[in-house]
Amino acid sequence: MEPCEWSLAAASDVIARAASERPMLVWKDVRRTHGEVADRTRGLARFLAGRGLGVRREAPELQRWECGQSTVALILYNGPEYIESMLGCFRARVVPINVNHHYRPEEIRGLLEMVDARAVVYHRRLGSLVGAAVTGRSPVLIDVDDASGNAPLDGSTSFEEAVASDSPTDLPVPSPDDLYVVCTGGTTGSPKAVLWRQGDIFESGMGGAGVGSREALKARVAAGGSVWFAAPPLMHAAAQWTAFAALHGGGTVVLHDDSVPFDARRILETVARERVNLVSIVGDAFARPLIEELRRRDHDLSALATIATGGAITSDSVKEELLELVPHVTIVDGYGSSETGGMAFGASARGQKAASFAPGGGAAVLSSDRSRFLMPGEDEVGWTARRGRVPLGYLGDREKTEATFPIIDGRRVAVPGDRARLLEDGTIVLLGRDSMVVNSGGEKIFVEEVEEALRAHPAVADAVVVGRPSPRFGEEVVAVVAFRSGQAAEPAALREFAAGSIARFKCPRAVAVRSDVRRLPTGKPDYAWAREVAKDAVSLG
């Protein structure tokens, strides 16, 4: 009988046989086919299994917040080895763990301890960071030669030696119950490891919805072959999901070198050279430099059909500029999180703007008290939620698991913490993260709505909004803005401009101007930095 759901390794095996000669991974001058990657990842799997990594306890023996498989930390920049490491782990029934290489050694050490990492795959230029982080531990070390000239750590095995392993170790049979784990720091707090069944993430975040049989997957691969460019770092879930969604259609994944600062010219040259059909970006942080580059020089983007954006807000004004410059593309806003997968989507084309999100499979809105699911048109600010194929929980944290992934009507539900309304036509209007709401004079103000209003000002390059204590209102809205080169506006004028599109009580009561708005490596605003800046912002009265 054909499988009704998939492990990620089993899906990759079918695709590798159906499209063995088709390009799979492109990075700089490296090109590898689906067949070549399959051979390399089987070698890595044999290496890991030969070192004793694998399954300790099967899924039926575990609580939702427990992991019964060995884990491997990936401390890597983008490159084919990142995807190969993930697939090699999946084949060995081992769990790859994404690690943010911008963390300090003590932060990485804490993360390695939290997930009990038995091995680390790292780029050599990150060797000193890894060496400091693994002090006192003795994981298996696998180093990727990145031409940096840095020597590998003592006892480390080169990645090329690992993938060439001819160990006689038999590889285990993967299961849809095997875990896919993504570590997320969110906007605040310590990192959390979100535990997904592979059978669930395949459908909810990696393009596998509706692929219920081997024949269906082979047919999809035969009809596929698109070229997708995951521009964000693979250490973040959104880029991984873009990559695997392309691969699960038998396509080609293009990656860029994220060990150097974001370079819009290099990104667009890659899109042109590789005839990319879809490129994924992270909101305004990526879109604005791309717009500036498109205004400076021409790039052949004739093959590009879709710009997919998520992970941070893409302002309406920015989307309009992009569509003016590349009028034949569709911009697809994706809403989701590490806790939900791809949950809802809104498509904008030239002359057509998406005002709300069309929900994907299982997407819903919970009532404010989380007691029931809202029906279309109910005038209540509720919580976004997803039912069905959602994560099991957070590693090692029963309390947070039961709060974020409650069981409602016998089904697992993910409630990521975003507020929303459900319109009469069934689409969802997102209001923003509840933790970022400013409660001013009894009114709840969602900062993302205010940021959107400010970014529409022609002189504003970027804006972030936070709250600060106010003796009169309890909290007041403060904006931190950066202006476009050679442009400026008075703070009071910015407030008046915002009042043209949002209620006046939502508008900033203080404005701080900076040369730029600091963002995290994910492209999301650095709200901790903004709160510090906001302390000294001058009140508008």
Q: Is the pLDDT of residue 356 over 50?
A: yes
Same domain, 461 and 413: no
Q: Within a domain: residue 498?
A: yes
CB 253 within 8 A of CB 230: yes
Same domain, 377 and 519: no
Classified as helix, coil or strand, 132 is helix
Same domain, 47 and 193: yes
Q: What is the pLDDT of residues 65-77, one digit of tens each?
A: 999 999 999 999 9
Count of CA atoms in the C-beta half-sphere (13 A) of 341 = 33
Q: Is the pLDDT of residue 199 over 80?
A: yes
Which comes out higher in pLDDT, residue 84 or 418? 84
Domain end residue (candidates: 380, 407, 433):
433
Q: Within a domain: residue 446?
A: yes
- How many domains does the chain contain in total? 3
Please give the Cα distance from 110 to 96 (Å, whole number): 17
Q: What is the pLDDT of residues 262-281, one digit of tens each?
A: 899 999 999 999 999 999 99
CB 437 within 8 A of CB 419: yes
What's the mean pLDDT in 190-216?
A: 92
Can you give 279-339 as a three-state secondary structure string? EEECHHHHHHHHHHHHHHCCCCCCCCCEEEECCCCCCHHHHHHHHHHCCCCEEEEEEEECC
Length of the chain: 541
Percent of the chain at pLDDT > 90 equals 70
Domain end residue (candidates: 177, 197, 217):
197
Q: Within a domain: residue 146?
A: yes
Burial, 436: exposed, middle or buried (Cβ in 10 Å; 0-12, 13-18, 19+)?
buried
| Close Cβ partners of 267 (under 8 Å, ≥ 6 residues apart) | 229, 231, 256, 279, 290
Beta bridge partners of 230: 255, 280
DSSP code at position 172: P
Block residue for tokens 């000002």: 457
Q: Within a domain: residue 371?
A: yes
CB 374 within 8 A of CB 382: yes
Quick one: which H or E segment has residue 163? helix 159-163
Please give the Cα distance from 28 to 435 (Å, whole number): 40
Domain holding 410: CATH number?
Answer: 2.30.38.10
Q: Within a domain: residue 326?
A: no
| Close Cβ partners of 450 (under 8 Å, ≥ 6 residues apart) | 465, 477, 479, 498, 502, 506, 507, 508
pLDDT at 185: 67
Q: Within a domain: residue 296?
A: no
Same domain, 392 and 516: no
Q: Where are the beta strands (DSSP E) in 57-165?
A: 71-75, 95-98, 117-123, 140-144, 157-158
pLDDT at 324: 95
What's the mean pLDDT in 141-145?
A: 98
Same domain, 386 and 522: no
Q: Within a domain: residue 402?
A: yes
Same domain, 103 and 159: yes
pLDDT at 355: 61
Q: What is the pLDDT of residues 13-49, one digit of tens each?
A: 999 999 999 999 999 999 999 999 999 999 999 999 9
Q: What is the pLDDT of residues 155-191, one digit of tens each?
A: 999 999 999 988 777 899 999 999 999 998 643 457 8
Provide the Cα torsion 266, 271, 272, 275; round to 10°: 150
Please give the Cα distance from 408 to 519 (Å, whole number): 36
DSSP code at position 233: -
Classified as helix, coil or strand, 398 is helix
Same domain, 58 and 110: yes
Domain holding 469: CATH number?
Answer: 3.30.300.30
Please give the Cα distance from 75 to 84 (Å, whole number): 13
Task: Give the residue among 105, 102, 134, 131 at the shortest CA–CA distance from 118.
Answer: 134
pLDDT at 188: 41
pLDDT band at 2 (very low <50, low <70, confident <90, very high): very low
Same domain, 51 and 159: yes
Same domain, 41 and 183: yes
Query: Distance of alpha carbon 309 from its chain centroid, rounded?
Result: 10
In whole angstroms, how far apart are CA 134 and each of 75, 109, 110?
Answer: 12, 6, 10
Range of the domain at 409: 362-433
Please give the Cα distance from 414 to 391 (Å, whole number): 7
Global pTM reads: 0.85
Domain end residue (candidates: 149, 176, 197):
197
Q: Within a domain: residue 340?
A: no
Same domain, 429 and 448: no
Task: Give the residue among 437, 404, 413 at the shortest CA–CA distance from 527.
Answer: 437
Same domain, 403 and 511: no
Domain holding 115: CATH number?
Answer: 3.40.50.980
pLDDT band at 102 (very low <50, low <70, confident <90, very high): confident
Same domain, 406 and 468: no
Q: Which two tokens stand for residue 189?
A: 């707090």
